């Protein structure tokens, strides 16, 4: 099991629930726009949010943003250690910076001292697009081995300063490379891991790549927090992250099972399944719901679920905890299922 760290009041690692992160795409020094976006992300279920800090104007906005939001705030910094010091002084909850990119040891020491004083974790964010020159020269390309080596190198730089309040991300836009790099690093490190497939793409392909990469790692028991990276409104990233966790049964909320339908189906299952999912999208019960087209696999899956529907001709059979309850007309099936879920 990984070590546990705290990002504000959100535990990460050590068996804590897997937290969902996203990143604003507003200009951070446009405080109103950034706060508006963070509030929308919060409403969607985002638990930790990151903002880019490319300059001092962004760093100086941190305290104003923080005073108006309710989830931990992370500052994303490259190269300039003074931005990290400013963000730490202004109450940020975590700093993403790679010590290997800051420059000399004294600058790293100053960032570590500021984070130690405020009990702030540092996220090391290894990315295939910004590997250290010497690592890239050694491996020629941003291979999984190169990414894992960069992660280790950065963790060791902080360990030399007796600092282990660390979370590590290792991201490539290639799914195989991402998975292999995390696996290599997880063999050597016990810090929590922040998962993601970087620059995954537009919502459709980005979701598929993220589900494969993040989902594959979670199936291997690797990963403590995640960000789905999409070329889209970041709220979509949060929905995608929720769906990945739900699909694996790793988050609050129902797991849905529904069949693809075939020539045996006599109900409008596409509509019924969509309506069930839509009406229960805010349900936080850890239950399994099955919506099946007919009596072949239908009753079996429906029985295995907490609440289930199996299609007949113009009617559906409603199940609860494996027991058939009653037949309901097709038009009333969704309402009947939702009422059973609410009664659980
Ligand atoms: Fe076809 Fe019935 Fe299977 Fe659905 S449950 S795919 S309708 S056989």
Segment 195-236, tens digit of pLDDT: 998 877 788 999 999 999 999 999 999 999 999 999 999 999
Q: For residue 298, what pLDDT is reported?
A: 65
Query: What is the model's pLDDT at position 209?
Result: 92
CA of 268 to the centre of ligand 1 (A): 12
At 101 the pLDDT is 80
Q: Is the CB of 265 within 6 Å of ligand 1?
A: yes
- Residue 219: the pLDDT is 96
- Indicate whether residue 310 lines ligand 1 (CB < 6 A): no
Q: Which residues of the chain have pLDDT under 50?
A: none
Q: How many angstroms separate the alpha carbon of residue 205 from the centre of ligand 1?
A: 28
* pLDDT (0 to 100) of residue 202: 86
Please name which of 151, 153, 148, 160 lies closest in space to residue 105, comparing C-alpha atoms.
160
User: Whole-model pTM above 0.85?
Assistant: yes
Predicted pLDDT at 282: 83
**What pLDDT was estimated at residue 210?**
93
- What's residue 111's pLDDT? 96
**Could you give the CA distance from residue 87 to residue 285 in angstroms, rounded to a whole number?**
38
User: Is any ligand 1 atom within 6 A of the Cβ of residue 270?
Assistant: no
Q: Give all strands (DSSP E) within 150-248, no chain letters.
A: 166-171, 193-195, 225-227
Whose alpha carbon is nearest atom 6 of ligand 1? Answer: 261
Query: Alpha-carbon distance 106 to 169, whole Å?
Result: 24
Is residue 262 within 6 Å of ligand 1 at its C-beta?
Answer: yes
Q: Is the CB of 295 under 6 A from ligand 1?
A: no
């Amino acid at each position: 099991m990984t070590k546990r760290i705290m990002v504000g009041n959100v535990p990460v690692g050590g068996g804590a629930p897997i937290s969902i992160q996203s990143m604003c795409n507003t200009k951070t020094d446009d405080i109103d726009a950034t706060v508006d976006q963070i509030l929308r992300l919060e409403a969607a279920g985002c638990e930790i949010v990151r903002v880019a800090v490319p300059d001092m104007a962004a760093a100086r906005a941190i305290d104003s943003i923080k005073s108006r939001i309710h989830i931990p705030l992370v500052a994303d910094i490259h190269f300039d250690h003074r931005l990290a010091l400013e963000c730490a002084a202004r109450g940020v909850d975590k700093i993403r910076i790679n010590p290997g990119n800051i420059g000399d040891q004294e600058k790293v020491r100053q960032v570590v001292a500021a984070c130690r004083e405020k009990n702030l974790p540092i996220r090391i964010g290894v990315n295939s697009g910004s590997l250290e020159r010497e690592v890239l020269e050694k491996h020629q390309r941003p291979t999984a081995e190169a990414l894992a080596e960069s992660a280790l190198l950065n963790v060791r730089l902080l360990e030399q300063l007796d600092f282990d309040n660390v979370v590590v991300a290792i991201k490539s836009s290639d799914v195989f490379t991402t998975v292999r790099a995390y696996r290599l690093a997880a063999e050597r490190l016990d810090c929590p891991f922040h998962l993601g497939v970087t620059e995954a793409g537009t919502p459709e392909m980005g979701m598929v790549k993220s589900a494969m990469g993040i989902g594959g790692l979670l199936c291997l028991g690797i990963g403590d927090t995640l960000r789905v990276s999409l070329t889209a409104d970041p709220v979509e990233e949060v929905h995608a992250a929720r769906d990945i966790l739900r699909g694996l049964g790793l988050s609050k909320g129902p797991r849905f099972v529904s069949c693809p339908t075939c020539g045996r189906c006599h109900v409008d299952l596409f509509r019924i399944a969509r309506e069930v999912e839509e009406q229960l999208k805010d349900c936080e019960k850890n239950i399994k719901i099955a919506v099946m087209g007919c009596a072949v696999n239908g009753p079996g899956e429906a029985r295995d679920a907490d609440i289930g529907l199996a299609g007949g001709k113009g009617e559906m059979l409603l199940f609860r905890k494996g027991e058939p309850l009653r037949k309901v007309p097709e038009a009333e099936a969704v309402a009947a299922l939702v009422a059973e879920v609410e009664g659980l």
